[in-house]
């Protein structure tokens, strides 16, 4: 709406709604601007055009503002909007559907085609009009979002979806949900190791626990994956936006890592030996993703490592080591070494970069955050992988294990720093490093069996189990009591352009309200502008 901020626009909106919101969309898609202009208001055709093109793309400000205005009537109290509001309530249901269209696969055409199949051919579509939206540049994510997981909208920014009501479930369902699978399936591995490792024989743990946990995690992986698959099918644009999100992209490794965990934690009673092709099948997607992600780091552009480095990048590294571990335990030779080598090289790079905390690193949380526990994951898994490759827990494996142990301690003594963060589903992904460290400790204590190592591995196992239990309780609380496990996923709905100061709106009736909004907006925008200028001068 800020394109055409004058009153005529809202008048048109009203008229549009008199003829139904649906028809706007349809008319928009059928490209007959001129027609509409002539019919409605010949005097100011330009504004008409703007109004018509409103619902087109997901990134259009007009659309959001309009939607907001329709819902609340907040932005201005003009009579027009009130009228719209009343009319809106009549076809509220229909309206709700349309606003999310832009995030649907092929802008919702798939769904309409499905409904057409069901015998409701209601709209004539012109396919030629559909423009492929360009991928959002990574800078927009940095500009529009904040917080350690880049999931909170900055005050000055706007989103392209309505932010005052709950979105469809699939849109709120983030890729980080796979973290649950990681957490639970790593527990299955831990209990398997507890039951089978010689150093923990004295605990007399039954393999049944592993069995139960493994089946639970299989079920979880299946559920989480099938829901996400639905999202891929129905809301492909949302998935794409998650993929371009500099932090979320790392979680795209999570499904494959979870599958590797399942293969690692498979109960001995179920399958004694996994087929070798399975390993190749599981490692192919990881390899492709790595070529893509590591290449982005190296080849420059907006996603170079010095800009996007974040502890969650460990997820993209740890897959190598998990794959190496699985492959070596299957008896493969060259493949595991390959992934181990690739993981090692990039782990060194990532480790150094994260430790440096470069000032250019836009995604790194200012303070500690649970995500930092991912630091522990790679070296602990690497130690097990190397031990399995070498056939014994040799010095190389020990070096990796002790690095993991030190990092674990280093974070554990700072546990105070980890409070006060808002719970998010991604936390599940941060529990598997603890479980991994516990498993590595068991491997180590099988090699060096004494009271200390045994105590250590029992302690670490308890800590990991407690953490997972606590997280489980929190998740259940959020899911069923607070009912906010899946809040609106702001991160995928940022608009593709900077918000403009709403100066034009001053002219409108509700000057005071507007001044308030405008001035606060201006302040934010200036603050945002101020940040880049010192950089510019320093360069």
Binding site residues, other proteins, CB under 8 A = 291, 294-295, 297-301, 304-307, 309, 333-334, 337-338, 340-342, 344-346, 348-349, 352-353, 358, 360, 389-390, 532, 535-539
d(CA 502, CA 522): 8
* Closer of 195 and 382 to other proteins (Cβ): 382
* Closer of 252 and 294 to other proteins (Cβ): 294
Name residues whose C-beta falls within 8 Å of residue 494's C-beta, 6 or more positions apart in sequence.
Answer: 136, 140, 141, 144, 145, 153, 157, 159, 160
SS in 3 state form for 203-262? HCCCHHHHHHHHHHHHHHHHHHHHHHHHHHHHCHHHHHHHHHCCCHHHHHHHHHHHHHHH
Taking the complex as a whole, the smallest distance from the CB of residue 350 to other proteins amounts, in Å, to 9
Query: Which of 378, 401, 254 has the alpha carbon at shortest distance from 314?
Result: 378
Taking the complex as a whole, the smallest distance from the CB of residue 323 to other proteins amounts, in Å, to 13
Q: Using CA atoms of 512, 516, 517, 521 in order, give the dihedral in degrees to the nearest 10.
A: 140
Do you know the residue count of the chain? 539
Taking the complex as a whole, the smallest distance from the CB of residue 221 to other proteins amounts, in Å, to 28
CB atoms within 10 A of CB 356: 12
Backbone angles phi, psi at 146, to 5 degrees: -145, -175
* Closer of 46 and 139 to other proteins (Cβ): 139
Residues β-bridged to residue 153: 145
d(CA 149, CA 165): 22
Contact 279, 330 (CB under 8 A): yes
* Closer of 90 and 291 to other proteins (Cβ): 291
d(CA 452, CA 184): 27
Taking the complex as a whole, the smallest distance from the CB of residue 302 to other proteins amounts, in Å, to 11
* Closer of 206 and 360 to other proteins (Cβ): 360
Helix ranges restricted to H, 448-498: 451-476
Name residues whose C-beta falls within 8 Å of residue 454's C-beta, 6 or more positions apart in sequence.
Answer: 199, 200, 202, 445
Taking the complex as a whole, the smallest distance from the CB of residue 385 to other proteins amounts, in Å, to 12
* Closer of 121 and 532 to other proteins (Cβ): 532
Taking the complex as a whole, the smallest distance from the CB of residue 498 to other proteins amounts, in Å, to 12
Long-range contacts of the stretch 90-96 (C-beta < 8 A, 24+): 91/20, 91/21, 91/22, 94/20, 94/21, 94/22, 95/21, 95/70, 96/165
d(CA 499, CA 156): 7
* Closer of 363 and 424 to other proteins (Cβ): 363
Taking the complex as a whole, the smallest distance from the CB of residue 306 to other proteins amounts, in Å, to 5
Taking the complex as a whole, the smallest distance from the CB of residue 298 to other proteins amounts, in Å, to 6
Taking the complex as a whole, the smallest distance from the CB of residue 214 to other proteins amounts, in Å, to 31
Residue 363 has which token pair?
């995604």
* Closer of 117 and 539 to other proteins (Cβ): 539
* Closer of 294 and 372 to other proteins (Cβ): 294
Burial of residue 306, with CB atoms counted within 10 A of its CB: 0-12 exposed, 13-18 middle, 19 or more buried: middle
DSSP state of 494: B
Taking the complex as a whole, the smallest distance from the CB of residue 358 to other proteins amounts, in Å, to 7
* Closer of 272 and 537 to other proteins (Cβ): 537
* Closer of 92 and 292 to other proteins (Cβ): 292
First to last CA, the chain: 37
Q: Within 13 Å, how many C-alpha atoms sit on residue 175's CB side?
A: 28
* Closer of 37 and 397 to other proteins (Cβ): 397
Contact 133, 237 (CB under 8 A): yes
Taking the complex as a whole, the smallest distance from the CB of residue 394 to other proteins amounts, in Å, to 10
Taking the complex as a whole, the smallest distance from the CB of residue 242 to other proteins amounts, in Å, to 23
User: CA 334, 338, 344: angle at the middle one, nearest 5?
Assistant: 140
């Amino acid at each position: 709406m800020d394109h055409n901020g004058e009153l005529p626009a809202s008048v048109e909106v009203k008229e549009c709604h008199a003829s139904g919101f649906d028809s706007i969309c349809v008319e928009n898609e059928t490209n007959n601007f001129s027609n509409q202009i002539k019919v409605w208001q010949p005097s100011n055709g330009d504004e008409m055009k703007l109004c018509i093109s409103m619902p087109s793309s997901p990134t259009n400000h007009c659309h959001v503002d309009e939607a907001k205005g329709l819902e609340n009537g907040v932005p201005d109290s003009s009579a027009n909007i009130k009228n719209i509001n009343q009319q809106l309530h009549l076809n509220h249901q229909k309206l709700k559907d349309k606003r999310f269209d832009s995030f649907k696969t092929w802008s919702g055409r798939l769904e309409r085609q499905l409904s057409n199949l069901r015998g409701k051919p209601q709209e004539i579509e012109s396919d030629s009009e559909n423009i492929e939206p360009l991928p959002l540049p990574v800078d927009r994510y940095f500009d529009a979002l904040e917080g350690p997981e880049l999931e909170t909208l900055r005050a000055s920014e706007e989103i392209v979806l309505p932010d005052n009501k709950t979105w469809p479930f699939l849109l709120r369902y983030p890729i980080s949900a796979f973290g649950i699978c990681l957490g639970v399936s790593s527990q299955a591995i831990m209990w398997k190791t507890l039951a089978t490792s010689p150093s923990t024989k004295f605990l007399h743990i039954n393999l049944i626990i592993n069995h139960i946990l493994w089946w639970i995690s299989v079920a979880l992986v299946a559920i989480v994956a099938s829901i996400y698959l639905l999202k891929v099918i129905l809301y492909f644009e949302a998935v794409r936006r998650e993929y371009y999100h500099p932090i979320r992209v790392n979680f795209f490794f999570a499904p494959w890592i979870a599958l590797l965990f399942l293969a690692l934690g498979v109960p001995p009673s179920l399958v004694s030996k996994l087929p070798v092709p399975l390993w190749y099948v599981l490692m192919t997607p990881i390899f492709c993703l790595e070529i893509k992600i590591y290449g982005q780091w190296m080849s420059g552009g907006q996603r170079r490592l010095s800009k996007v480095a974040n502890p969650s990048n460990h997820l993209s590294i740890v897959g190598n080591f998990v794959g190496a571990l699985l492959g070596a335990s299957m008896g493969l030779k060259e493949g595991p070494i390959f992934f181990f080598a690739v993981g090692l090289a990039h782990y060194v790079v990532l480790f150094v970069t994260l430790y440096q905390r470069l000032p250019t690193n836009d995604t790194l949380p200012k303070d500690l955050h649970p995500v930092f526990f991912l630091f522990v994951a790679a070296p602990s898994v690497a130690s097990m992988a190397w031990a399995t490759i070498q056939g014994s827990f040799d010095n190389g494996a020990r070096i990796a294990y002790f690095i993991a142990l030190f990092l674990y301690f280093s974070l554990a003594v700072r546990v105070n720093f980890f409070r006060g963060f808002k719970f998010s589903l991604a936390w599940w992904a941060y529990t598997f490093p603890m479980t991994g460290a516990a498993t590595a400790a068991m491997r180590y204590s099988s090699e060096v069996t004494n009271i200390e190592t045994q105590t250590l591995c029992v302690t670490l196992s308890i800590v990991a189990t407690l953490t997972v239990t606590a997280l489980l309780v929190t998740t259940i609380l959020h899911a069923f009591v607070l009912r906010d496990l899946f809040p609106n996923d702001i991160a995928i709905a940022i608009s593709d352009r900077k918000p403009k100061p709403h100066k034009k709106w001053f002219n409108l009736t509700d000057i005071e309200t507007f001044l308030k909004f405008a001035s606060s907006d201006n302040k934010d925008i200036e603050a945002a502008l101020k940040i880049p200028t010192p950089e510019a001068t320093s360069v």
